[in-house]
Amino acid sequence: MKRMKGKGVWKKLLVAGYWLLVFYSSFGQANGDYRTIGNVTFAASSNWERYNGSAWVAAGAAPVQGDNVITVRTGNTATVTANKTLDQVGVTSGEVLTIN
């Protein structure tokens, strides 16, 4: 049995790790997930995108309870301005969720 040694092993592990991350990230969203593309309120559909199973598209409405994961992305502020029940809300590190 031939033994692999040196830089060749590390290169193969690095390439395998890269493809594992690409593969994993391509399945990071589910049909019906929401994400911000700017500052948003939970009362308006502007600056929301919804995952349709194959691509992120403009949302026709703001997310509500029962929708899949709702993510406030880097650089965005999400504001709740009225009584609203939500679930599965994620706020990335350093971002803002304001509840008035």
Query: What does the block give as tokens for 7?
Result: 């830089």
Count structural domains, the chain: 1
Within a domain: 49? yes
Q: What is the pLDDT of residues 41-98, one digit of tens each?
A: 988 889 999 999 899 999 999 998 888 899 988 888 899 888 888 888 888 777 788 8
Within a domain: 23? no
Within a domain: 19? no
Predicted pLDDT of residue 55: 92
**Structural domain that includes position 56:** 29-99
Within a domain: 9? no
Higher pLDDT, 64 or 27: 64
What global pTM score does this model have?
0.68
Within a domain: 71? yes
Within a domain: 18? no
